[in-house]
Amino acid sequence: MLSAWRMIEDAKVVSQFEKNFASPVSEQELMDKTGVSYHHVNVDDLDNDSEFQRLKKHMGITYQDNVVISPATMSDYDDKLKIFFREHLHADDEIRLVKDGSGYFDIRDDEDKWVRIWVRKGDLITLPAGSYHRFTTDDKHFINAIRLFVGDPVWTPLNRPADDHFSRLEYLNKYPVKAK
């Protein structure tokens, strides 16, 4: 089940690893305001899970790999988390399936405020190309995820500001940010 909420203002955040909850966000609201899509998958038997195979085909997935993010598996864990947690966008959708562990994807909504999505075992999430977002582990500091790609595997972050990038312009056509 999807868990998402608006975050408290950045100035009030003590730790990126905490929930920093302000108010709940429904799956429908998340989709409507950010374009994030969510599915739950049986990760204990992926080879025989017809729903996962159907989703991969529907999304056009052509490549996948596995990443484990934790202090035990990454000698440069703290440095990597700083990179992942810096606000950025990608030219392609970011699609992740959590096999084990948990973490947070934060995405900007239509008011340019953070919405936090808590991903856990079985959660398949797609962050649209051009959406400003960031990632961090939660207080358990462990996530094992499958990275799914359409076409060649590319993971190039474009740090904010990247407002003139074609993917950002296309994203804003679908999910405009309200004027302040």
Strands 94-108 and 114-120: antiparallel
What is the reported pLDDT for 179? 81
What is the reported pLDDT for 171? 98
Summarize the confidence of residues 111-115 as an average pLDDT.
Answer: 97
Rg (CA), the chain: 16
DSSP string, 19-56: --EEEE--HHHHHHHH--EEEE--GGGGGG-HHHHHHH
Are the C-beta atoms of 169 and 89 separated by less than 8 Å? no
Are the C-beta atoms of 148 and 154 separated by less than 8 Å? no
* Cis omega (within 30 of 0) for bond into 161: yes
Q: Does the pLDDT at position 180 exceed 80?
A: no
What is the reported pLDDT for 154? 87
User: Which tops the pLDDT comparison, 95 or 10?
Assistant: 95
Task: Calculate the average pLDDT of the chain.
Answer: 96
pLDDT tens digits, 78-110? 999 999 999 999 999 999 999 999 999 999 999
pLDDT tens digits, 23-82? 999 999 999 999 999 999 999 999 899 999 999 999 999 999 999 999 999 999 999 999
Summarize the confidence of residues 129-151 as an average pLDDT.
Answer: 97
Summarize the confidence of residues 108-127 as an average pLDDT.
Answer: 98
Summarize the confidence of residues 146-164 as an average pLDDT.
Answer: 95
